[in-house]
């Protein structure tokens, strides 16, 4: 059965998790920061500032284009990898925020060769954060503190406002 994503868009059902692609030995998400680092190092002088013009010895056009293409390719691969974890019930806004959370921490939560399940832990933490923000779910204080710290800097607009039971009882 196919799920509808909106007017005129249909997304095919996902295969069972066991059939989905697994995380490669080096995370795809790690490719984007590595490519960005190589691009930055190729563009900077010894003093660490970006070279402003070709007259001062900026990257040759072909080198810059290759570095940018490598960066874009790494970001695209990381985004494609993360897309397999999207839930059908997530709105576009919720998924974009959760995907940013996942991609930000993916290099730190790569599954070790022995299959320790670190990726599952990251996905669970991302769901806790998204459920708290978008659905108003409450969790253990230590867990919420951890996910809110991990999500520090991720900006989400137009969040729903929830009233807690204790706030209702005060009125």
The pLDDT of 21-47, averaged and rounded, is 44
- Residue 125 is predicted with a pLDDT of 96
Pairwise pLDDT comparison (135 vs 23), residue with the higher score? 135
Residue listed under structure tokens 């320790």: 116
Q: What is the pLDDT of residue 161?
A: 84
The token pair that represents 66 in the structure block: 């290759």
Would you tell me how many other CB atoms lie within 10 Å of the CB of residue 57? 9
How many residues does this entry show for the chain? Answer: 171
| Mean pLDDT to the nearest integer, 65-81 | 76
Give mean pLDDT, residues 62-76: 76
pLDDT at 42 over 70: no
Given a cut of 90, whether residue 142 has pLDDT beyond it is yes
**pLDDT computed for residue 58 by the predictor:** 54
pLDDT, one tens digit per residue, over 104-116 is 998 888 777 776 7
Burial code (b: 16+ CB inside 10 Å, e: under 16) for 141-163 equals eeeeeebeebbeeeebeeeeeee
The answer to whether residue 35 scores a pLDDT higher than 60 is: no
Identify the residue whose tokens are 């005129």. Answer: 8
Residue % of the chain over a pLDDT of 90 = 23
Position 146 scores a pLDDT of 96
């Amino acid at each position: 059965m196919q799920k509808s994503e909106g007017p005129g868009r249909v997304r095919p059902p996902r295969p069972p998790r066991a059939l989905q692609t697994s995380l490669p030995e080096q995370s795809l998400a790690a490719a984007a920061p590595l490519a960005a680092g190589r691009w930055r190092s190729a563009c900077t002088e010894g003093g660490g500032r970006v070279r402003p013009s070709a007259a001062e010895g900026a990257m040759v056009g072909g080198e810059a284009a290759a570095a940018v293409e490598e960066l874009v390719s790494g970001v695209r691969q990381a985004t494609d990898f993360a897309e397999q974890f999207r839930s059908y019930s997530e709105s576009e806004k919720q998924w974009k925020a959760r995907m940013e959370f996942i991609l930000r921490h993916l290099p730190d939560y790569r599954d070790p060769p022995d299959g320790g399940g670190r990726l599952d832990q990251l996905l669970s933490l991302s769901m806790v954060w998204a459920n708290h923000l978008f659905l108003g779910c409450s969790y253990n204080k230590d867990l919420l503190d951890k996910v809110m710290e991990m999500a520090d800097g991720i900006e989400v607009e137009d969040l729903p406002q929830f009233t807690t039971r204790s706030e209702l009882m005060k009125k």
